[in-house]
């Protein structure tokens, strides 16, 4: 089955002995895996951080928050206001919806426990999933990332290109009889043909995946930088999560983090 999902972090389209078009998109693995695993109870709480802005009080440790509260917190930065203002018309026209990434949803999609958020543009309407049971002070960053995917006009175009390359590969794969006998012994020429088709498909899809993730992480990074530069406890809140829970949250996400998170071979970007 070809699972159509634009994921921050680590989903691939799989069929044909595990080979299919990959487009990671938005699943975020910035959490230590312990954070999401209900079978491991050593989650460590961090100090309470409260922000008083424009007559509103935000407790960053708050869980089970509302969409309105999330948007209000995000809008405390210039980048956050920009993202929310661009996203709001899409929400009003029901081109995009925001959904709760529940444990059941994560299990149904086969996501890893550390998955914090995702954007699925193949749903109708397209959906941004965030874990409303997580801490709002963390989710704000992940939401900016996923919203950046939702606002990225190139994603649907690149996805169609990935599907086209996948279909080309699939025809070659089937023509060699690998659909019925994946362990079939191939001639040197046949092996060269299928390897070349696979490598080409991977180069295209990984270039698209890197571009989309680089853009979303850069947008998220601007928001995170503004948060960390603010004169509040937000910076120490993030740092404590980093020190105690292994949180990886960058204002400038290095390429290596994207390569490792999404299984992207940097040689495919050359």
> What's the average model confidence in pLDDT over 238-249?
87
Where in the chain does DSSP place strands (E)? 50-53, 56-59, 96-100, 117-120, 126-130
Q: With 90 as the cut, is the pLDDT of residue 105 above it?
A: no
Instruction: Name residues whose C-beta falls within 8 Å of residue 107's C-beta, 6 or more positions apart in sequence.
Output: none
- The first and second tokens of residue 207, run together, are 């270039």
Give tens-digit pLDDT for 67-76: 999 999 999 9
d(CA 133, CA 81) in angstroms, rounded, equals: 23
Mean pLDDT of the chain: 83
pLDDT of residue 14: 24
Other beta carbons within 10 angstroms of residue 70's beta carbon come to 18
pLDDT of residue 243: 87
Higher pLDDT, 35 or 144: 144
pLDDT band at 212 (very low <50, low <70, confident <90, very high): very high
d(CA 268, CA 270) in angstroms, rounded, equals: 6
Higher pLDDT, 224 or 5: 224
Q: With 90 as the cut, is the pLDDT of residue 53 above it?
A: no
Going from N- to C-terminal start, the domains of the chain cover 33-269
CA torsion through residues 192, 194, 195, 201, sign: positive
pLDDT of residue 233: 95
Q: With 60 as the cut, is the pLDDT of residue 81 above it?
A: yes
Question: Could you tell me which of 218, 260, 232, 211 has the C-alpha nearest to residue 59?
Answer: 232
Contact present, 46 and 61 (Cβ < 8 Å): yes
d(CA 242, CA 211) in angstroms, rounded, equals: 26
pLDDT of residue 222: 96
């Amino acid at each position: 089955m070809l699972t159509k999902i634009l994921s921050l972090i680590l989903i691939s389209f799989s069929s044909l002995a595990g080979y299919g078009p990959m487009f990671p998109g938005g699943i975020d693995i910035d959490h230590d895996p312990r954070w999401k695993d209900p079978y491991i109870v050593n989650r460590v709480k961090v100090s309470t951080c409260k922000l008083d802005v424009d007559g509103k009080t935000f407790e960053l440790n708050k869980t089970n928050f509302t969409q309105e509260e999330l948007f209000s917190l995000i809008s405390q930065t210039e980048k956050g206001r920009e993202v929310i203002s661009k996203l709001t018309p899409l929400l009003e026209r029901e081109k995009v919806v925001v959904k709760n990434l529940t444990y059941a949803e994560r299990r149904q999609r086969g996501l890893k426990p550390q998955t914090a958020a995702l954007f699925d543009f193949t749903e109708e309407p397209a959906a941004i999933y965030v874990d409303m049971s997580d801490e709002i002070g963390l989710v704000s960053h992940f939401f900016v990332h996923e919203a950046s995917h939702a606002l990225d006009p190139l994603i649907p175009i690149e996805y169609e290109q990935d599907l086209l390359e996948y279909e080309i590969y699939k025809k070659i794969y089937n023509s060699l009889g690998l659909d019925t006998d994946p362990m079939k012994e191939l001639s040197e020429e046949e092996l060269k043909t299928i390897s070349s088709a696979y490598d080409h498909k991977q180069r295209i899809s990984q270039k698209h995946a890197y571009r989309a993730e680089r853009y979303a992480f850069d947008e998220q990074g601007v928001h995170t930088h503004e948060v960390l530069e603010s004169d509040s406890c937000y910076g120490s809140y993030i740092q404590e999560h980093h020190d105690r829970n292994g949180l990886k949250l960058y204002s400038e996400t290095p390429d290596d983090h994207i390569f490792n998170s999404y299984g992207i071979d940097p040689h495919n970007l050359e």
